[in-house]
Structure formats: structure tokens, C-alpha cells
Structure 1
Amino acid sequence: MSIDSIQDLEVVNSFAQLPPAFYTRLATTPLRRPRLLHANASVAGLLGLSPRALAGQDFLDVCAGSVPLRGGQTLSAVYSGHQFGVWAGQLGDGRAHLLGEVITPQGPMEIQLKGSGRTPYSRMGDGRAVVRSSVREYLASEAMAGLGIPTTRALAIVVGDDPVYRETEERAAVVARVSPSFIRFGSFEHWGGSPQNLRILLDYVIDRFYPECRVQDNPGESALRFLRQVVARSARLVADWQTVGFCHGVMNTDNMSILGLTMDYGPYGFMDGFQINHVCNHTDAQGRYAWNAQPSVVNWNLYRLASCLTVLDIEADALRAELQHYEDDFLAAYRGNLVRKFGWLQWREGDDMLVDDWWRLLHNQQADFTLGFRRLAQALSDPEPWLDLFSDRAAAQAWLAAYAQRLTLENRPDAERIAAMQSANPLYVLRNHLAEQAIQAAHREDSGEIETLLKLLRDPYVEQPGYEDYAQPAPEWACRLEVSCSS
């Protein structure tokens, strides 16, 4: 049965039951004259909220941080982490507040506000988010969900009149985020020198999210099984990122979900023209988080996570043995994704060479990542739309001939293959210029572009008549867009 008020949700506070060292309980800092820019009916439905609930004053009050969630215990969590490969020490929810945990048919879901004011972990920050970054996160999390990639979700975005100073003066906004948990690798790193608290956190995470890993009377084996599952989930996640052309932009250990979710959207980007070493974050001058580096960065982050567990008297060799599964896990997920995207039935010997040639073709000609895959489905019968993506058509035709030869190894009807490829290769992704158009409209408090993009991104594999402009290569002006850690 749908609930007509956010204040009538069944709320628990399991994270708040951890010792006080894990968080600080504090109130949010309300926005000045808050207005609801957009509410996500899809995510609201996951929580059991009716459409009527989204129009209520209490929904705005909670999502703006003006009043607490009834039954919740508002808090901000502490964690640490490595940022750009360097130990940064204590970090934490510098601008986020966990309101509580909602009981749903899919399991408990936490509601967290981002941009809701200063906390003890803000360091030199103001505790705020701006309209620009909030719209980007709101759209990106829903885009990833539409692609079937594990992610946190977005419930609502609220704007206010408070000025916020980044590169220029901007206006404050708050995003209400939803996830089973916001615990991250950095949460474990924070307790790397405290075996007692690390054990408390590990037991909490295993009991709530990895119960199959629990081995009675053998905590060391439980920890190893837990690590094995985190390795597998993280490998699958980054394989998904690679095969949709997604760059996270700031893969610090404090931005890595312990549940294998995409989280903390900032200077991310879906590639337009493909570059194997594409860097979407203007702040990342060294290219640490380039597209082709993402799999190795995840592996590096997993080693940082595993190193914390040595304080629990777990042998380093046993931890390394679990980490060694990463490459196989990644390759299995990566190749599985590519099998579907190329319309094959299975991975065969020699496919690595054809795939390498594919990336080289896209890179050398800066061809559009998304449309390169999407139009390939029909390129054998109608090659012109696909060939139009390449400046060197002869090179593209040569690769297409090799691809056609590869297809002859499998007795698959063309119609079946085309349908399968179209269900694996999105037509719509959240390109930077589309997000920018939604941001500009949001500055006018017009949520029309947000609504349009959500409509397309929730089902990105199905062509929607009348929205052809959203399925085109990026315009020239999009090349001048830059996103950074302040995004």
C-alpha cells in the first residue's frame, strides 16, 4: 500500500546503533526559502511513497533538511581514505547527513541529504552543494540505474536562495540520495589502526549485506569471504563502466562503495568521441583516473581495503589470495558485456584482437562511443549511418569486414542478433551537453529538461520518436565543457 506522507514511513537506524566513534549526531542546516525542483516518482515508489506524498509540504521539509525524518536519527559518518593515490587521513561526510533507514520490500534503504550543511568533517568546506553539481548527480544516478549498473539513487532535488562560492557565486541545492548503505572502502581504512572498531564495522556490514559470508566461530574466514565478494562486485562494476564509456572521475578510496555501487557522482563523464586515455576530471592533471586506468585503480583500491584487515590477525597471504581473483572476475564481466554488445553468443579465441582493433579504430578517429556500438547492430545491412561516425571510412570498412567474418562463426539469425545488440547498446546516455542543458534550465527553476532526460534514461535502449536530438553526437560547443572536483 502506498504511503501518502514521507513522515509515515517505517524508519530504523541500524548505523546509529554503532558506537558513537563512527559518526556525529547533528542537525542539518536548512536552505533559505527551499523549493522542490524535482521529485523522482520511480525512487519514491521503491520507498513505498505515493505520488501524492511528493506534493506534500512534509516531503519538501524533509528533503530540504528543514525538519528531521520522523523516527530517524540524523548523523554524519566519519571515514578516511586515499585521494589521488595519497593518504588523506580523516575525511567523512563533510556535507551529507544520514536521516534514517526506511524499511522497504527490497530491504532497508537509507535516505541521505547531500549539501545539507557543515559537519565536523567539513574541514575547510562550507557543507553545501550547488545547483550544477546537484543536477549532475541527480541525473547520473538515474542514468546508471537505467543502464542496469549498480548505483545509489536520487529521490529529490531542492534548491534554495543561499549563495555558494565555487569558481563563481552559485546557488545552493540539496540532493536526497537513497542507498542500502553509504559505507565505503574509506570507512574501513579509518579503523586500520583500531582492531576493535574495525571488527565492529566488519560484523555490521557482513550481518546486514553479506550474511552468506558468515562462518560461525571463524571470523577470519568470514572476513576473507567478505573480501572475495567485494572483489567480485567491484570488478563487475568497473567492467560495466568500461563498456558504456563511463568515467567516474574521482575514484578515491572514500568514493568506493563497499557494496559495489556507483556512488559520489562528481566530475564524471560519459564519453562522446572515444579516447582510450580520456580524462573527464579537469582537476586530474596526471590522468590517474583516465578511462583505461579505471580497472587498475579499482584493483589498487581493493588492496588498500585488504590491508586494513591485517590488523584482525588475518594472514597477508590469505588476503592476497582473495585479491588475485580480481583480474579473472573483471575479464569475465568485461568479455561477457562485450559478447552482448557485439551480438555474439560466446567469447572465442581471437576476439581479443578484434576488440583491440575496435578500440584502436574508435580512438584514432575519435568516433562516438555510444553510437559506434549502437549503429553497429545494423551496419552490415545499412552501413552508411555507422560509417558516418568515422573520418577514415576505409579503415572503418576494413574493421567491419573482419567483424562480419567473425559473425559467420555463429549460426545466429540477423534479426535475433540485431535485437540483442539493441538491448545491450544504449541509444541515450547522459552526455555532458545534455546535463548542461538541464542545469541551465534548473537555474531558471525549470525542471522540464530533467523530466525529459529521466524519461529517456530510464529506458535508454528503446528509441523514442521525437527525441532524435538526444541521440546524436555531441555538438562542437560541448568540447569546451569542463568538469572538476567542484562539479
Structure 2
Amino acid sequence: MKLNIKDTFTKELPADPIMENTRRQVSKACFSYVNPKKTAKPELLHVALEMLENIGLTEADSKTEQFLNVFTGNEVLSNTTPYAMCYAGHQFGNWAGQLGDGRAINLCEVVHNNKRWVLQLKGAGETPYSRTADGLAVLRSSIREYLCSEAMFYLGVPTTRALALALTGDQVLRDVLYNGNPAYEKGAIVTRVSPSFLRFGNYQIFASKQDHHTLKTLVDFTIKHHFPYLEDVSKANYVQFFKDVSQKTLEMILHWQRVGFVHGVMNTDNMSILGLTIDYGPYGWLEGFDFGWTPNTTDRQYKRYRYGNQPNMGLWNLVQLANALYPLIEDVPVLEAVLEDYKNNFDQASLNMMRSKLGLERKIDLDKVLIKDLEENLQLTETDMTIFFRNLGDFKKEQPLKGIEAVRDAFYFLEDIRGDIKEKWMFWFKAYADRLTLESFSDKARKDKMNLVNPKYVLRNYMSQLAIEDADKGDYKVLNELFEMLKKPYDEQPEYQKWFAKRPDWARDKVGASMLSCSS
């Protein structure tokens, strides 16, 4: 197994001088050296072959003992120095101080085909930033992260990637619902891959300590390796850097809204500086269309990170990043202008995104009313978002009275579509048909366009749960099937038609299939 290792993070940024792997507050350092914990009886469960090729390896490499050992923590590659990053963050709106990679260990950086990738193990043991935790992960959460990372990529959503999923052979104690009933589960490790795992919190930690020297060092490093077109170090380029991060964040969240994905934990330490979806914990896809839904049990009361609030939370987090970068920019009006642009641009981008979901190309002011009325109708009774928009492609503008028939499979309780609710839907389908007459393309052409942005298959929580329950018994057929299906989420794939279905009744309130905790 030969990787083209080209480390920059550990060579160009200040390291924690203390080498012991003990919990501590770290000062004036971007990372701490730490080796993964050796695992008892590792077993490789799955490898993402496309990602394998991206880092310059082959399927044959993945079958070697060295591959198994490196990506389960039992071997450190020569000329590498694994490390955990130091960062801080706001959690559910409250400043939490130092956080850091508590259960993630970065192995090295690899360059292949002029692209740089950081290889990281999640669940490979404690680090100086683990606080009171053990730094380990379980099969349950690892399957969810592994599947979702790759599913999001194929949906066209900016995301970190996954390379491998493995059992460790160790038992890990977890309290799934935080209700005082811990139990042992199978330990596992996911190998995550990304151009960078830098988060907003990496910059916040130095600003909070008024360590402006290390802050500048890290920002300069970030621009050099990830925003190289900015070239010279200057206040103007620091502002442009913030603008670009803001735009990338906007685009990422817009994709979340498009496919109905809810992150669940949009803390500042979970916000990628590259606008990538990062840290897959209690995430979920909308089943019934609901702006107020969150998959996170920890957020059940206040619903800070609910679906409809994700754009606002992106802005809130960008405000915190602006505060962290202020010592380098020292210009409040300029930073405020970037934040104002985010608000204005998001509104327009969201409108255009919804137009694409409806198969509309022309930009007409009345579209705002059409979309607003649709979103209100979708919440009149429980309506599956994915199925609704996918099947809306079958709507015929010459037959508006048959609109409900086209999307009937999206309604959880079809008998609810009567009286006032039916009237509102009939009114909307008539307005939609009228609007479609202003477009020049055929119904078939519209359907083809809509199918490019409205996925047929998404990773619903109940699907993950089925894969988890079987995998826990040593059966990985569902895991493999979902992985393959989710690589073509916009294709019809009739062989997987059974997965194009509403959440079953048994999954409505089942742990892991509806809401999840942060330990998920």
C-alpha cells in the first residue's frame, strides 16, 4: 500500500509541546500529537471503492493486512505523525470553550491527481480533547456516518467523504437515550476523508484567548492551501476569505433544504470552513414536510436546529466566525455587509432552488406566492417531502384536476385530503398548471429537469436502522444494498423500488428510526 503523503498541517502550524495523551487545556497550538488506540480484533466491513481511487489506492490495496491495520488504528504509517485538532465552539448557542477532536484522529494528508485529502479515523480512542469521553464509536453511529457521507456526495451536497467502515472487536458502553440505561455495543471506526476538517471553532479558540498571532498563522495557512487564489496576505483578502466561506456555507445549506436534510447539531464546531457537511450525528431527512422538525432529542424543546431554521443558524454561525476574524480585519461595517449579503442572497437562491424543484425556468414575481402556498399546503396534513416532489414530475398541466392523483402516494393519510384541505390543493394545482403554461418546454422535459434535483432515494432514518440491526447480527446485505442504491439517488433503479416509500408505522417512534440523541 503506497500513499503519496504530503503533510502540511503538522509541518506548518504550531503543535502542542506536551506529548502525553492526557486531557488538558491547550494553548497557542493548532493540534496535539496522539496515536490511535490499538483495537482487539479488527474486521473490515466495507470500503468505498471510488474514494479509494481518489487517494491513489486500488481495491487490491484494501484487501491487505496493512490497510486493515492502518485504518483500524493498529499501525501508524511511517513518516506520519497522527494528531487531534484543537478548536472551540458554541453548542446550542452557548459558548463551550475548548472542544477539539475528542474522538477523531487525523492520520496524514495524501495528494493524488493534484487533490489533497486528509485521512481521519473517527472512534479511534481518546485524545487530549476527549474531556470525560472515551474517544470511541459504536457500530450504530458508524454505519450512519459511513452511509450518509457517501449518500450526500452522490446527491450533490458538499460533504466530507468516507473511505472505510470497520469493527474494532471491542465493546463500548453507551447510553443511547441519556436516560441512565447504558449498554455495551460493538465498537467501530469510520475512516473519514476531506480536503480539510477545519471548522469555525478552529479560529474561535484563538480569538477567545486573544492569541491573534496563532489566529493569523492559521488563517494564512487556510488561505494558502484552500483559497490559494487570494494570494497575498492582506486585510482585503481576509475579508474576501470570509465572503467565500459565507458563500460556501450558503450553498451547502441550500442543498440541505433542497433534499430535506436536517443536520441536527449546527454548532460552530460542526461548521466546515470549506462549506462541507461535517459530523454526521443525529441527522435525518424530512419524512412529513415540516419546517419545525428536528431529529435531535437534545434539541426537542427549543428546536434551535429545526429544518426551517437551518438558514438562520448558518447566519448565526457566520456571525461567530466574523467575531473570530475581527482582530485581523478590524472593520465592523465590512463584516456586517458580508452577513447582510448572506441574508439577501439566501432568499434569492432559495427561491431559485424551489423553482428548480417545481420545474420552472422563467423568473416571475408571482412564483413567491405559488411556493408559499405550496409550503403551507404541504403542512396541512402529513406529506412525504421526497415522494411529493419526485412524483410531482408526473403532473400534467393539461389535467390540473388530476394533480392530487399524481402525488397521492406522498400523503400519509389520504383520507385527510377532503373538504378545505382538498380545495386548497385543487386551487394550488390549478395555479401551478397556469404557471407552467408560461414555460416553453413539454411535460416530459419538465419531468426530466425535476428529476435531476428531486431525488428518488434518500437515506431515511428507518433505512439506516434496518442496516444497523442486521449488521449487529453480522448480516451486511442491507448495508451493501443501501450503499449501492444511494450512489444513484436520482435514477429510477426499479430493483430498489421498495425503498421509495413513506416511513413505515413501526418506525414512527422507534429509537434510531425517528429522533436520535447526540450519541447516535
Band the TM-score falls in, shorter-chain normalisation? over 0.9
**Which shows bigger deviation, 122-131 or 386-395?**
386-395
CA distance in 2, matches of 1:363, 1:70: 56
- Cα distance in 2 between the residues matched to 1:15 and 1:469: 45
Match of 2:34 in 1: 26
Matched, 1:257 2:272: yes
Helix, strand or coil at the partner of 2:108: strand
Contact 2:110 2:116 in 1 (8 A): yes
Letter in 1 for 2:157: I
Contact 2:387/2:409 (8 A) holds in 1: no
Residue equivalent to 1:147: 155
- Equivalent residue number for residue 5 of structure 2: 11
RMSD over equivalenced CA pairs, Å? 1.4
Contact 2:43 2:169 (8 Å CA) reproduced: no
- Give the match for residue 412 of structure 1: 441
Give the AA of the match of 1:435. S
Match for 2:171: what amino acid?
P
Residue of structure 2 in register with 1:452 after alignment: 481
| Higher deviation after alignment, 476-485 or 73-82 | 476-485
Preserved contact between residue 111 and residue 179 of structure 1 (Cα < 8 Å):
yes
2:421 counterpart of 1:392: no
Report whether the alignment pairs 1:465 with 2:494. yes
Q: Indicate yes or no: 2:313 matched with 1:297.
A: yes
Q: Does 1:350 align with 2:366?
A: yes
Quote the offset at 1:385 in angstroms. 4.3
Structure 2: how far apart are the matches of 1:64 and 1:252? Answer: 28
Deviation for aligned residue 1:329: 2.7
Indicate the residue corresponding to 2:517 in structure 1.
484
Structure 2 contact 359–447 (Cα < 8 Å) conserved: yes
Question: 1:115, CA displacement in angstroms?
Answer: 0.2
Measure, in 2, the Cα distance between the counterparts of 1:354 and 1:100: 50
Moved more, 424-433 or 402-411: 402-411
Among 190, 202, 205, which residue is 1:187 paired with?
Answer: 202
Q: Is there any run of 5+ residues in structure 1 with no aligned partner, and where?
A: none
Q: 1:231 aligns with which of 240, 246, 258?
A: 246
Aligned to 1:161: 169
CA-to-aligned-CA distance 1:330-383 (integer Å, 9 cap, x gap):
234322322221111133101111111111111121100101100000022674
- Size of the aligned set, in residue pairs, is 479
Q: Please list the CA deviations of residues 197-226 of structure 1 after superposition, one character each: whole Å capped at 9, or x if unmatched.
A: 000000000011112223x3x521111000
Partner of 2:377: 361
Check the 8 A contact 1:38/1:447 in 2, yes or no.
no
SS in 1 for 2:185: strand
Letter in structure 1 aligned against 2:491 = V
Moved more, 86-95 or 337-346: 337-346
The TM-score, its normalising length taken from structure 2, stands at 0.90
Return the match for 1:37 from 37, 42, 45: 45
Distance 2:126 2:236 in 1: 40
**1:71, distance to aligned residue in structure 2 (A):** 3.1
Q: Does the Cα contact within 8 Å between 2:239 and 2:329 map onto a contact in 1?
A: no
Q: Give TM-score, length-normalised by structure 1.
A: 0.96
Per-residue deviation, residues 25-76 of structure 1 (Å, max 9, x unmatched):
1111022101001111111111121111111111111110110133322000
Q: CA separation in 2, counterparts of 1:97 and 1:408?
A: 56
Q: Report matched runs for 1:8-87 at 5 Å.
A: 8-17=2-11, 18-20=13-15, 21-87=29-95
SS of the residue 1:243 aligns to: helix
Match of 1:279 in 2: 294
Moved more, 474-483 or 145-154: 474-483
Secondary structure (helix, strand or coil) at the match of 1:454 reads helix
Superposition pairs of residues 168-207 of structure 1, within 5 angstroms: 168-192=183-207, 193-207=210-224
Other structure's SS at 1:110 match: strand
Query: How far apart are the structure 2 equivalents of 1:375 and 1:195?
Result: 53
Post-superposition offset of 1:283:
1.0
Alignment partners' CA distance in 2, 1:127 and 1:276: 34
**Contact 2:238-2:329 at 8 Å conserved across structures:** no
- Whichever residue aligns with residue 418 of structure 1, its letter is K
User: 1:307-326 deviations in whole A, cap 9, x for unaligned?
Assistant: 01122252112211222210
Distance 2:348 2:155 in 1: 19
Determine the C-alpha separation between the residues in 2 that align with 1:287 and 1:222. Answer: 36
Per-residue CA distance 1:218-245 (angstroms, 9 max, x = gap): 5211110000000111011111111111
Structure 2 contact 124–136 (Cα < 8 Å) conserved: yes
Moved more, 411-420 or 117-126: 411-420
Whole-angstrom CA distance in 2 between matches of 1:372 and 1:69: 49
1:154-181 CA distance string (max 9 Å, x none): 0001112222111232111000000000
Code of the residue aligned with 1:398 in structure 2: it is F
What amino acid is aligned across from residue 408 of structure 1 in structure 2? T
Tell whether the 8 Å contact from 2:125 to 2:134 is kept in structure 1 after alignment: yes
CA distance in 2 between counterparts of 1:164 and 1:322 reads 45
Aligned counterparts of 1:212 and 1:275: Cα–Cα separation in 2: 40
Q: Provide runs of 4+ in structure 1 moved above 3 Å.
A: none
| Equivalent of 1:422 in 445, 451, 454 | 451
Match of 2:235 among 202, 220, 229: 220
Q: Determine the C-alpha separation between the residues in 2 that align with 1:449 and 1:330.
A: 38
Aligned counterparts of 1:45 and 1:130: Cα–Cα separation in 2: 27
Query: Would you say the 8 A contact 2:238–2:328 is kept in 1?
Result: no
Please give the alpha-carbon distance, in whole angstroms, between the structure 2 residues aligned to 1:35 and 1:68: 17
SS of equivalent residue, structure 1 residue 204: helix
The 1:431–1:313 alpha-carbon spacing in structure 2 relative to 1, beyond 3 Å, is: closer
